[in-house]
Amino acid sequence: MVNASRRSVLKGAGALALATTLSTPSIVRAQEKALRIGQLGVMSGPEASWGLVNKYSALATAEMWNDKGGYEIGGTKYKIEIVSVDDRNDPKLTVSGAERLTGSENIRYFIGPNTDTTATSVRPIAEKNNAIYFPYAFARSLYTKPAENAILGMIASYQVAPIMYQQLKEQRGVKTIGFVARNDSDGLLQRDEGVKVAQTLGLEIVSSSDTYEPTITDFFPVMSNLVSLAPDLIVLSSAAPAHAPQMMRVARELGFQGLFACEAAQDIKIINEVAGEYGDGLISIGGASTPEIRSPYMEEFIARYTKVAGEWNDEAGTKAYALEILLATLAAAGPEAIDDIAPFKAAIDGFSMKNPFLKEESQLTYVGTGDFGQKRQIGVPMVITETKGGAFTTFAISSVAS
């Protein structure tokens, strides 16, 4: 009896141990299942803020979900891991970074790169290694068939320019316009697209030949020419957040009285610090971060971003969207999409979720059919802002046609 009992106890203990052995790893595996997302972009040098904002936004979103136990896909919660690679805005490094992410790291989804040149260089690798990427670059060829692996993460300059210039013409009486562009593929593309829009709207173009090198340290000589022509509006094509306030300050010091426009996102803290009293009158694209429209979730994101990065950056209002919609699309496509982008691609057309960053009830979808012939763009709301009294104020709200 005793022996039997002992045997029973031993059997029971053994069974328990076996059960523990068998079940514990599966619980641990379920708890520790990781979803690795890449982030590739410029995170050093003059354009560092573009890629770093992507990185911090992704890290903030990942932390928010991880604190809740992970992101649920197909009934399993995944901890989000962000793998970041700095390409220093050098296509050679972008290519090697993409090879690493999609090859040795076996990552199927990554955010970035940040410029036309680097994003274009990534395309063959993403297609060869079956990866989806979310560039912040405007070259149409990236999003138009036969290309189908890139999803534009923001609003392109050629989408915002018609609305922005039209509003400025009607509301502010803008009749003459001058362009100053960053001398790289993004800047020149944005300028050329802007010139076409201005011509279509019947605006008089006083100058479109002024450019500056990305490594410029003083805008005084560059802006002197354009200001002397006294346009109603100066368009700062593809101006980096570091450069736009410098150009504004110099133009105002040279006596410019008109408005500025920029189809790239800017940062109010930099504008206040660099342009100071000359910081008013910039019309630019913003994210879903203006206080009037943001939801409590966006407030939570801003707080988390500030914790991760040390300070808030208005550019992150746009860049908050990429990881959020990527995760939601994976959830919609099912767990098989984690390792295979085909179900993800199939889910894009019908995908819709409540926009978590806006307090108004609205849907977040993929758009882009009008511009690219297929849905290869995140439907980020088009919030056009104006700098007034050291803050961004909402100038106009619109959206990209689906």
Partner 1 sequence: MEQILVNGTILAANYALIALGITLIFSIMNVLNFAHGQMFMLGGLIVYYVCVVLHLPYALALIAAVVIVGLIGMLFEDVFFQRVMRISNREENTMLLAVGTSLLLENAALSLFGEKQRAIPPIVSGVYRIGNAFLPASRALVLVLSLVLIAAVLVFVNYTKTGRAMRALAQDRTATLLMGVDAKRISTLGFGLGAALAGVAGGLLISISGVNAGIGTAISTKAFIMIMIGGAGVISGSLLGAVVLGFAEAIGYALIPGSVTYLLIFVALIVFLLFRPQGIMGKPAA
Q: For strand 34-41 and strand 109-111, is the pairing parallel, antiparallel, or unpaired? A: parallel
| Smallest distance, partner 1 to C-beta of residue 14, A | 54
Q: Give the span between the Cα atoms of 178 and 180, in whole angstroms.
A: 7
142: helix, coil or strand? helix
- Residue number with CB closer to partner 1 (245 or 281): 245
Interaction of residue 267 with partner 1, rule CB under 8 A? yes
CB of 114 to partner 1, least distance (A): 12
What b/e sequence results for 372-395 when a residue is b if at least 16 CB atoms lie within 10 Å of its CB, and e otherwise? bebbbbbbbbbbbbbbeeeebeeb
Distance CA 388, CA 273 (A): 14
CB of residue 383 vs partner 1: minimum separation in angstroms? 21
136 contacts partner 1 (rule: CB under 8 A): no
Considering only 77, 140, 172, 269, the residue that binds partner 1 (CB under 8 A) is 269
- Least Å distance, CB 248 to partner 1, is 11
Does 171 interact with partner 1 (rule: CB under 8 A)? no
Binding-site member from 170, 273, 300, 336 for partner 1 (CB under 8 A): 273
Residues 321-350 that bind partner 1 (CB under 8 A): none
Specify the residue, 49 or 102, whose C-beta has the smaller distance to partner 1.
Answer: 49
Main-chain phi, psi angles of 367, to 5 degrees:
-130, -170
Question: Is 222 among the residues that bind partner 1 (CB under 8 A)?
Answer: yes
Are 38 and 62 contacting, i.e. CB atoms less than 8 angstroms apart? no
Q: Count the neighbouring beta carbons within 10 Å of the beta carbon of residue 147.
A: 18
Least separation in angstroms between residue 183's CB and partner 1 is 4
Does 308 contact partner 1 by CB under 8 A? no
User: Is 216 an interacting residue with respect to partner 1 (CB under 8 A)?
Assistant: yes
Q: Distance of CA 169 to CAs 42, 329, 358, 383, Å?
A: 35, 39, 28, 18
- CB closer to partner 1 out of 243 and 375: 243
Tell me how crowded residue 105 is: count the other CB atoms within 10 A of its CB.
Answer: 14
Residue 218 or 349: the one with the smaller Cβ distance to partner 1 is 218
Say whether residue 117 binds partner 1 (CB under 8 A): no
Q: Report the residue number, 52 or 358, with the smaller CB distance to partner 1.
A: 52
Window 225-264: contact mask with partner 1 (x via CB under 8 A):
x--x------------xxx-xx--xx--xxx---------
Three-state SS sequence of 72-129:
EECCEEEEEEEEEEECCCCHHHHHHHHHHHHHHCCCCEEECCCCHHHHHHHHHHHHHC
Asked if 292 touches partner 1 (CB under 8 A), the answer is: no
Helix residue ranges per DSSP H, 235-355: 244-253, 268-270, 296-309, 316-319, 321-333, 341-348
- Give the sign of the dihedral formed by CA 344, CA 146, CA 47, CA 356: negative
Selected binder of partner 1 within 72, 220, 300, 307 (CB under 8 A): 220
Residues in 36-75 that interact with partner 1 by CB under 8 A: 43-49, 52
Q: Could you say whether residue 391 binds partner 1 (CB under 8 A)?
A: no
Residue 296 tokens read as 């409590």
Total of chain residues touching partner 1, rule CB under 8 A: 46
d(CA 181, CA 236): 6
Residues that bind partner 1 (CB under 8 A): 43-49, 52, 183, 209-213, 215-222, 224-225, 228, 241-243, 245-246, 249-250, 253-255, 267, 269-270, 273-274, 276-277, 309-311, 313
